[in-house]
A and B are shown apart, each in its own frame.
Chain A
Amino acid sequence: MHTNGTNSELFENLRLELRRGCLAVAVLLQLRSELYGYAIRKALSEQGLAIDENTLYPLLRRLESQGLLVSQWREEDKRNKRFYRLSPVGEEVLASLLAEWRQMNSALERILAVPASLNMQEQTQ
């Protein structure tokens, strides 16, 4: 039998797995317009998707090395900031990712709409 501690640890691991892919999509979506790191974090947070800085910056670097983002250093408010935006490849990949996400989401919604008892009956038939 699982203790509460184990359950919360299990939940946390699954939550992280679930978030990992979603965060990449959210960052790509946010960078349809040019932003620097701290501003991306604030923008995502304001829309209800808080992201840790230790997750965001390595993610930005990875997406850039994969060719999905482009970046440049520019001075703003007397400070040098690195601005990111979606690359043409990133735009294509984002469109495919969104289509995939919509398909998964609607599949999950359909599964959720079927009562569990009905599911059992179908399986036994």
Chain B
Amino acid sequence: MTQADLIDRYLNAVKLWLPKKQQKDILAELAEDLHSQIEERESVLGHPLEEAELVDLLKRRGSPMRVASGYIPEVRLINPAMLPLYWMVLRIVLLWVLAPIFALVFIGPLFDSQAPGKVLAAFFATAFQSLFFVIGIVTAVFALLDRYHSKWVDRWDPRKLPHAPRSHQQMQWYNDFSGFAFGMAATVFWAMMMWHRSAFVLSSGFRIILTPIWGQIYWLVVALTLERALVDLYCFVRPSWTPARSWVRLAFDALKVVIALLLLRVTSWVDIGGTDLSPADVAKTVGWLNGMIQVTLICAAAIMLFDGLRQGRLLWRAKNGRSRPVLTVS
């Protein structure tokens, strides 16, 4: 292979990666530099460069793609200043929204199905699609923000920053985070699984029949769980406590206690069917199931009461000036 052939090949390979408008100009300059280098090398060696020597010189210069990359302007997708927010949003969406939804949608069928392999395959296929879709959407939103509203990162005022967290808020973020995750899971469960449902039918034909009370409280529960999840998300993103926040939580807790009390007014929440058990065993099983639901409802009401008391205590402490800032600049 001649010297000219090798140089032409090299320059042609560089050309492939160069911006179209500048190709001719850059290649002419590169060719001139290569010839100057070859001339100098030949004058040192005292003979025309052999093929191996020219190959060595070109290799030391770098791969065509690497050489071309120097001429390509740096393009960024997301403003570096927005990266922490980008990672936070991505983490929340993936770990605390997508993962619970998938767990909720697939865990039941996985244990219930006759062919768990098919459920797993469907899970992985859907999970990958959703993963790429969600990451793509979040990235696109941030790229658009960077393109059209890049200045908003610098528009800030120290007076408008969230309050520094107080001592009781140090552990609060975990509660808010998990509250949001469980709230979303509960919302999805109610919205999808309880919509116009009168019974859960298992593959063996066994049915858990729901009494009409569940249909009567359907929309109230969906609205409450969703609203509570969103309040928890807001509390997590802006962790500083305000009295309004505790009042909102207190209102939700009160509403939930009311729902639990409404449910506790009836004595039967579920029945069973499609089983070959004796009537006595059916009655015993139904009694056991309803007993479990009763205990769960009582516990839920107690938890809500406890949370309500906690919010009340926070409000009382704030009113009496008992809360103390943790971050103090000395």
Which of A36, A38, A80, A81 is the one whose CB lies under 8 Å from B37?
A38
Measured CA separation A54–B30 after assembly (Å)? 10
Min Cβ gap A39→B in Å is 8
Residue of A nearest to B35 (CB): A79
The listed residue with most B CB atoms (<10 A of its CB), out of A37, A53, A73, A81, is A53
User: Cβ of B67: which chain A residues have Cβ within 8 Å of it?
Assistant: 54
User: Cβ of A61: which chain B residues have Cβ within 8 Å of it?
Assistant: 22, 26, 71
**B66 near A79: Cβ-Cβ < 8 Å:** no
Which of A37, A54, A55 is the one whose CB lies under 8 Å from B29?
A37
**B37 near A55: Cβ-Cβ < 8 Å:** no
A63-116 residues at the B interface, CB under 8 angstroms? 73, 79-82
Q: Let me know if A57 is at the binding interface, CB within 8 A.
A: yes
**A80 near B70: Cβ-Cβ < 8 Å:** no
**B66 near A54: Cβ-Cβ < 8 Å:** yes
Number of interface residues of B (CB under 8 A): 16
Residue of A nearest to B71 (CB): A58
Min Cβ gap B204→A in Å is 60
Number of interface residues of A (CB under 8 A): 14
**B32 near A54: Cβ-Cβ < 8 Å:** no
B17-33 residues at the A interface, CB under 8 angstroms? 22, 26, 28-30, 32-33
User: Cβ of A53: which chain B residues have Cβ within 8 Å of it?
Assistant: 33, 61
Measured CA separation A46–B85 after assembly (Å)? 48
**B35 near A82: Cβ-Cβ < 8 Å:** no
Contact indicator per residue, chain A 27-64, by CB within 8 Å of chain B (1) or not (0):
00000000011100000000000000111011001000
**A57 near B35: Cβ-Cβ < 8 Å:** no
Q: Let me know if B43 is at the binding interface, CB within 8 A.
A: no
User: Cβ of A82: which chain B residues have Cβ within 8 Å of it?
Assistant: 28-29, 32
**A55 near B70: Cβ-Cβ < 8 Å:** yes
Min Cβ gap A17→B in Å is 15
Measured CA separation A53–B29 after assembly (Å)? 11
Min Cβ gap A81→B in Å is 6
Residue of B nearest to A55 (CB): B70
Q: Let me know if B36 is at the binding interface, CB within 8 A.
A: yes
Given contacts A38-B36, A38-B37, A79-B35, contact A57 B29 (CB under 8 A): yes
Q: Let me know if B158 is at the binding interface, CB within 8 A.
A: no
User: Cβ of B62: which chain A residues have Cβ within 8 Å of it?
Assistant: 54
User: Cβ of B66: which chain A residues have Cβ within 8 Å of it?
Assistant: 54
**A57 near B32: Cβ-Cβ < 8 Å:** no
Measured CA separation A80–B35 after assembly (Å)? 11
Min Cβ gap B13→A in Å is 14
The listed residue with most B CB atoms (<10 A of its CB), out of A55, A58, A73, is A58
**B32 near A58: Cβ-Cβ < 8 Å:** no
Measured CA separation A125–B30 after assembly (Å)? 59
User: Cβ of B36: which chain A residues have Cβ within 8 Å of it?
Assistant: 38
Min Cβ gap A60→B in Å is 9
Given contacts A38-B37, A53-B61, A54-B62, contact A79 B32 (CB under 8 A): yes
Measured CA separation A61–B22 after assembly (Å)? 10
Given contacts A54-B66, A57-B70, contact A80 B28 (CB under 8 A): yes
**A54 near B33: Cβ-Cβ < 8 Å:** no
**A58 near B33: Cβ-Cβ < 8 Å:** no
Q: Please, could you name 25 A-B residue pairs with CB atoms under 8 Å apart, sorted by A? A: A36-B32, A37-B32, A38-B32, A38-B37, A53-B33, A54-B61, A54-B62, A54-B66, A54-B67, A54-B70, A55-B70, A57-B29, A57-B30, A58-B70, A58-B71, A61-B26, A61-B71, A73-B28, A79-B32, A79-B35, A80-B28, A81-B32, A82-B28, A82-B29, A82-B32
The 4 closest A-B pairs by CB, nearest first: A58-B70, A38-B36, A38-B33, A54-B70
User: A residues within 8 Å of B by Cβ?
Assistant: 36-38, 53-55, 57-58, 61, 73, 79-82
